[in-house]
Structure 1
Amino acid sequence: MTDRRARSRAAIGRRTLLTGAGAAWLLTACDAGIAADAPVTRPTTRASDGRPLLSQWYHEYGEVGTEAAARWYAEQFPDAAVTVDWRTGDYENAVTTALAAGDGPDVFEYANGPTVELIRSGQVVELTDLIADVRTDFNAAILDRMTFEGKLYAIPQVIDTQVLVYRPSMLRAAGLAPPKTTLDLVQAAIALTTQDRAGIFVGSDGGVETLIGPTLWSVGCDYLTSDTAPDGPGVGFTDPAVAAAFGALRELYLSGAMLLDAPAHWAEPSALVQGRCAMQWTGLWTFPTLTAALGDDFGVLPWPRFSDTTGAPSVPIGAYGAVVNAAGADVDLAREYVRWLWVAQTDLQLDWAQSYGFHIPARHSLSADADALAAEQPAEVVELVGLYGHPQTPLWWTAGCGTALRAAASRIITAGADASTELAAAASEVTAELDRVRG
């Protein structure tokens, strides 16, 4: 790996899976609403050395070295010449547009796997058999997110997650234990607030971008009901407990304990490092910076359950998955390339997870081998992901669904709108969007 790593240092950076920049972290694996006719297979093309040619797309990652690493991995595949296209801009829209036009890549990554529309229109290929011998080694929640009607349509590449990070020294000084319920969290944030420090930072919007999923899960609900019904899922956030959970975020917003004017995004750890807050919702990718700045003076928690008797703790997880285009020049060869890279080449998978940024491998055995995850706090995050990890959004959850619920959450948290009324209105919009996708 030495030669490749030397070359990788010159590579430009990327956007992280869960960075929070719009659809980037909240991977909001968006359904673009593009329908397609049955895919038409393109003729096979060949490289100058006579090998068949495959094309592969990645979105533009933010970590230094990722582009060079991806190209180096592709060069190692013996059965084809693989060209790597590093795509900037609106990646998901570029993919769906190219697939609909019949000139999409043979292999591409997609946030949390392909959309339900891409699957139902036959634009992507089933990959279930590729992991048959090692299925239990993969994170089950992520595999479920990439599965439709019992068939797997993507191989997860790496997992990112968000957690609640806190300063133990500040909690000890205030005589507080780490909060175990949302109600405890509100009280702790208020108690930790001083003239120069907020109790908690979850984003300058009061948690609209970051905490919708954890808020639903905290009361045992979800975005949608189970998708095992013949006609797909229904709305999952109409329980009155959801309104109460959003009401707690409104209470926190009004309390003065939320940091709302931080100089950096919640995906950056500067607020916690600089002592502007005692607790911060942020991502695993910030841990190297936190360790360098704070040493052992940071701990990690899941978002807590709502009360001692309601819901469960949670951490949202997301993963880009490798997908095969059903209209590619050689679908069988493309499937073999995905199997080779994301199932067989465990050394490359481990390298991708820990050499560029700070991520969790998609496979349990590789997490155990990841030196970067061996320290106390990262190891605890790996455990939290195994215990409480939720795919950030369900397969049927489209961009339109997300827009409706975020707007409702914003009005509840920041404007004080009635939670039950807003959630009911959002449920109507989500229902209409689900009906659109069902066709």
Structure 2
Amino acid sequence: MVDVSLRPCLLVVGLVAAGLTGCGSTESEKDRLTRIEVLAHDGTDEERAVLEQQVAAFNEGHDTVEVALTLVAEGDYNDSLQARIARGDAPDLVEVDGPLLASYVYQEVVVPLDGLLTDAVLGDQLPSLQAQGSIAGHRYAVGTFDSGLGLYADRRALRNADVEWSTSPETAWTDEEFTAALGKLASQDSDGLVLDVKENYGTGEWLTYGFAPLVASAGGDLIDPVTLSPRGHLDGSATKAALDTVSAWAPYIDPNEDDAAFTSRRVALSWVGHWTYRDYAAALGEDLLVLPLPDLGHGSKTGQGSWTWTVTSGDDDHQRAAATFLDFLLSDAEVLRMTEANGAVPGMSSALARSSLYAEDGPLELFADQLRRSCGRDTPDKDCLAVPRPLTPGYAVLSSQFAEAMSVALHGGRTDRALDRAADFVDHDLELNGGFSH
């Protein structure tokens, strides 16, 4: 889930099971106890409360494993984890933002989960999470939730502007139809600004998560999946065509500085993810529509990926203990406890079937269907919908450069030059790191 709030504080919470060290404990019981540290990002208030409750419940019910939870502000998280790794002090179980997983695998900091978790558990993950967490034939990460991305629309505004729509990805607006819809909506609007793309989120990961799927929809990608080179990909014709299309939409974009463009009904369309649904539903009620993203020629495509869990390369006892806690978090009850709090897509298929938001006929069923039809690591075709972000240890640099170019497009600037500069920067980083080959 994209969370643009940055919390400056570092919060450390140690949750220890009551009774584990009481007078009833024998020395042999104490010897069998494995204490592990779990490192997680400090998300929303609701997410924090649920995770703390989950740690407490786990400790209450387990005599051989004790979890201590450390929470770090999201904006500082990756740097904090890297600093601990550099000190040789990696926690036993860590959260990793999905697209950054390849970097930790490259550093040999994390271990495969094959054998630590059962095939049944690994197989119940959504296809999108299976794709995100798999590298070189091994599963390195699992998630309790995934993210959904699409277009929210104001039914009343569309009808007033005589704009037709489809809720099916197979019949999503083409780029020409979407541009025409923007024009019609603008003709009925006082300032002509009818599209929210969350510019208020700034230039960061949101722009890659939210708009890289358009590149796949245009038939392109950001890097070569084998050599990791951006040449002919990040600066390729399909990527440039996708960003030129976005640039043509710039005159219709509301800057949304107050983050209320859609809830105040100032705009008719909002390009964003699942995390806004509750506010949008409260504001628009039955007028709220959830639509797929436009089709730029190779099928409508969407984003995927969120925070995942991975086990670090400690000793066997600590790895097994971390897996025990992870197995607890992945139970249907705990997955639903978290996703009912943060509104995300349940990461286990069995839990998803019990979700009032995402199950069949639920208001966000589209997001779940998109994730089930993940393109995986194969070249996207018209049949798949959810596109993982590129698999490379250099993802952070790649994403930042693509986001800069996308920001230029959203403001109507020269996208060809921006993408050429981005490709140069990413290629230089690739060379500096020896192509990320050991």
TM-score by length of 2: 0.80
Which residue, out of 380, 394, 409, partners 2:366?
Answer: 380
Kept after mapping to 2: 8 A contact 1:304/1:313: yes
**Structure 1 position 258 matched with structure 2 position 253:** yes
Match of 1:58 among 37, 40, 53: 40
Of residues 85, 97, 120, the one that matches 1:111 is 97
When residues 386 and 329 of structure 1 are mapped into structure 2, their CA distance, relative to the original with a 3 A threshold, is: closer
Partner residue in 2 for 1:5: none
From 409, 424, 432, give the equivalent of 2:420: 424
**TM-superposed deviation, 1:259:** 0.7
User: Which letter maps to 1:303?
Assistant: L
**Distance in 1 (alpha carbons) for counterparts of 2:337 and 2:63:** 19
Question: 347, 367, 370: which is aligned to 2:355?
Answer: 370
Indicate if the aligned counterparts of 2:352 and 2:358 stay in contact, CA closer than 8 A.
yes
Q: Which residue of 2 aligns with 1:303?
A: 293
Q: For residues 95 and 328 of structure 1, what CA distance do their matches in structure 2 show?
A: 19
Amino acid at match of 2:217: S
- Establish whether residue 410 from structure 1 lines up as the match of residue 407 from structure 2: yes
Equivalent residue runs for 1:242-321 within 5 Å: 242-253=239-250, 255=251, 257-264=252-259, 270-306=260-296, 310-321=297-308
Structure 2 unmatched runs, 5+: 8-19, 166-171, 374-384
Farther-moved stretch of structure 1 (400-409 vs 279-288): 400-409
1:401-428: CA deviation from partner (whole Å, max 9, x where unpaired): 22222223333442622x3333223222
Q: How many Å separate the matches in 1 of 2:78 and 2:389?
A: 17
Note the 1:52-201 alignment, pairs <5 A: 52-64=34-46, 65-75=49-59, 76-88=61-73, 89-112=75-98, 115-129=101-115, 130-178=117-165, 180-193=173-186, 194-195=189-190, 198-201=193-196
Distance 2:52 2:281 in 1: 27
Contact 1:56 1:108 in 2 (8 A): yes
Amino acid at match of 1:263: D
Instruction: Give the Cα–Cα distance (whole angstroms) in 2 for the partners of residues 272 and 280 of structure 1.
Output: 6
| Amino-acid identity (%) | 19
Q: Is the 8 A contact 1:55 1:106 kept in 2?
A: yes
Residue by residue over 1:338-369, the C-alpha shift from the partner in whole angstroms, topping out at 9 and shown as x without a partner, is: 452244x2221221222x12011112221111
CA distance in 2, matches of 1:246, 1:80: 51
Alpha carbons 1:113, 1:322 under 8 Å: kept: no
Structure 1 residues 416 and 98, CA, compared in 2 at 3 Å: closer, same or farther? same
- Give me the TM-score of the superposition, normalised by structure 1: 0.79
* 1:218/1:303 contact within 8 Å kept: no
**Contact 1:305 1:311 (8 Å CA) reproduced:** yes
Q: For residues 188 and 320 of structure 1, what CA distance do their matches in structure 2 show?
A: 34
Per-residue CA distance 1:103-140 (angstroms, 9 max, x = gap): 12111111116532321232111112324234442122
Q: Aligned residues, how many?
A: 384
- Helix, strand or coil: the match of 1:263? coil
Q: What are the Cα deviations for residues 53-108 of structure 1, in whole angstroms up to 9, with x where unaligned?
A: 11111110114233432333442344311111122250111111112211121111
8 A Cα contact 1:247 1:413, kept in partner: no
Q: In 1, distance between residues paired with 2:325 and 2:430?
A: 31
Aligned counterparts of 2:311 and 2:150: Cα–Cα separation in 1: 32
Task: Tell me the SS of whatever aligns to 1:164.
Answer: strand
Partner of 1:7: none
1:217-267: CA deviation from partner (whole Å, max 9, x where unpaired)? 2202222232xx3x55655333313212211211111x3x21124412xxx
- Alignment pair present for 1:349 and 2:335: yes
Checking the alignment, whether the CA contact within 8 Å between 1:142 and 1:391 is kept in structure 2 is no
- Give structure 1 stretches of 5+ with no counterpart: 1-16, 24-46, 265-269
CA contact (8 A) 2:128 2:371 kept: no
- Whole-Å separation in 2 of the counterparts to 1:304 and 1:295: 24
- Return the alpha-carbon distance in structure 2 between the equivalents of residues 282 and 96 of structure 1: 30
- Aligned counterpart, 2:324: 337
**CA separation of 1:191 and 1:273: change in aligned 2, threshold 3 A:** same
CA drift at 1:328: 5.4
Give me the whole-angstrom Cα distance separating, in 1, the residues matched to 2:103 and 2:272. 31
Q: Retained in 1: the 8 A contact 2:54–2:334?
A: no
User: Does structure 1 retain, via aligned residues, the 8 Å contact 2:148–2:368?
Assistant: no
The structural deviation recorded for 1:271 is 1.8
Give CA-to-partner distance per residue, 1:349-400, whole Å, 9 cap, x none: 221222x120111122211111243564212322233232223453445222
Q: Following the alignment from structure 2 to structure 1, what is the Cα–Cα distance between the partners of residues 45 and 78?
A: 19
